[in-house]
Structure 1
Amino acid sequence: MFKRYAIYYTPEPGTPLADFGARWLGWDSAGGVACAHPDIGDLDVAAVTETPRKYGFHGTIKPPFRLSEGQTADALKAALAVLCSDATAVSLDGLALARLGRFLALVPSGDASSLGVLAARAVQELDVFRAPPTDTELAKRRGANLSAAQDAYLVRWGYPYVLDQFRFHLTLSGKLDKPTITRVETALAPALAEFELSPYRIDGLTLLGEDENGLFHQIRRYALTG
């Protein structure tokens, strides 16, 4: 039994990008195992990736939530399967390495509105499974200086960065100071250049569960077949 669930985009297990992401972060959510970090220059990859490690390599679609009273994991699986059977795969111009504030991520190139529509469907159609956030959780989120719209989304949907505030990204680091983020960016760019990221296809959604140690495990990946 997992304490929280999440719906993410994760690259198909066994593909080069999925394998790199697992090794880079040090956690393979598909296999449920820790991974040795790659040797990239003199970077302390473990320190750079400490914050996002537990989630595995992913792009958030519906952020972690506790199951609401009366709901079950099996019912959540069934509902996600129905959604993915009706939703179509999303084609992006590509993914590119970018700075998002103080952290690094892969972000979509070009128009990503169709991905926003998919994420909005997951947030809204599966919301019946989400227990409301606690006062502590609300206070923690509000510490990020939310806008009025983001605060309203936090109250309604349990997370501030949804719907028109959604920005898809595959996280590659925690918050870094300026010298470190420059070094990591310089080291990552040639490593990522080895992968076919343009164009890029979002072809499935993954249900994950958080274990008692805070690590996320892939439960099932559902193809988008609508």
Structure 2
Amino acid sequence: MRAAIYFTPPAGSVLAKTAAHWLGRNPFDGEPTRAPDKTRDPLVTSPARYGFHATIVAPFRLAGGVELETVDARLAEFCAAQAPFSIIASVPAQLGKFVALVPAEPSAPLQTMAGAAVRAFNPFRAPLNDEEIAKRRPETLSQRQGDYLTEWGYPYVFDEFRFHMTLSNGLSDSEAKRLRPDLKATFKPFDGEPLMIDQLAIFTEAERGAPFRVHSVHRFENA
């Protein structure tokens, strides 16, 4: 099993419901959200498996002797000390070959919270094995990213962290052209609007390659 700490909007929010319908799967209950779509589904397989989210602490195997309940208790404590804040959403935004929701402008509270979470949960993480390191393609990383991968288990932390909520697989130009009109129409109500960052969730993967499910959600309480 692997665990991850993600931001995701509340299950009942309009954004969460819209994204779940777009991806075809709800990570809160693991159920399909619509009929199969032979045009869209092959282009959203990866974000559908992970569930609509922004990575705060990337998926990790638990260190020896660490129970998921311990991680859950630490997340409750961490979130209780956090103050809610908002970002302005930009969606759909291009992120390399992917399409995602991203912040319209830099957010110091977001960067601070994400960095603090990486530090807080690193002690619960098992060291990366050779397969996990290879998956990150270390030969393509910068020196700093490689150092972060070694020390923190993920190359995109601290100054390399970029908040994003992925809505597609990596797309070819023709696939992006085909998908973008529906993406723009679906997510137009959220583009340029505030998005509250006021909770974090533990997502779990029962076995490698399985769909991620929400295990627990903890609200920010330091109002």
Q: Is the contact made by 1:96 and 1:107 (CA closer than 8 Å) also made in structure 2? A: yes
Does the aligned pair in 2 maintain the 1:68–1:132 contact within 8 Å?
yes
Unaligned runs of 5+ in 1: none
- Mapping 1:11-160, distance limit 5 Å: 11-36=9-34, 44-142=39-137, 145-160=140-155
Post-superposition offset of 1:143: 5.1
Give the equivalent residue in structure 2 for 1:223: 219
Query: Identity of paired residues, percent?
Result: 38
So what's the TM-score if we normalise by structure 1? 0.92
TM-score normalized by structure 2? 0.93
Q: Which amino acid aligns with 1:88?
A: A
Unaligned segments of structure 2, at least 5 residues: none
Q: How many residues align?
A: 221
Judge conservation of contact 2:91–2:190 (CA < 8 Å) in 1: no
Residue equivalent to 1:201: 196
Q: Deviations over 1:153-209 (max 9, x none)?
A: 000000101110000000000011012112222221121113475122111001111
Alignment match of 1:189 (pick from 177, 180, 184)? 184
Runs of 4+ with >3 A deviation: none
2:172 paired with 1:177: yes
Are the counterparts in 1 of residues 7 and 56 from structure 2 also a CA contact under 8 Å?
yes
1:94 Cα deviation (Å)? 2.9
Question: Is the CA contact 1:7–1:64 (under 8 Å) kept in the aligned structure 2?
Answer: yes
Taking a change above 3 Å as real, the CA distance of residues 211 and 34 of structure 1, as seen in their structure-2 partners, is farther
Shift in alpha-carbon separation, 1:115–1:106, aligned structure 2, 3 A? same
Give 1:83 deviation, angstroms: 0.5
Matched-pair contact (CA < 8 Å) for 1:24–1:37 = no
Between stretches 203-212 and 154-163, larger displacement belongs to 203-212
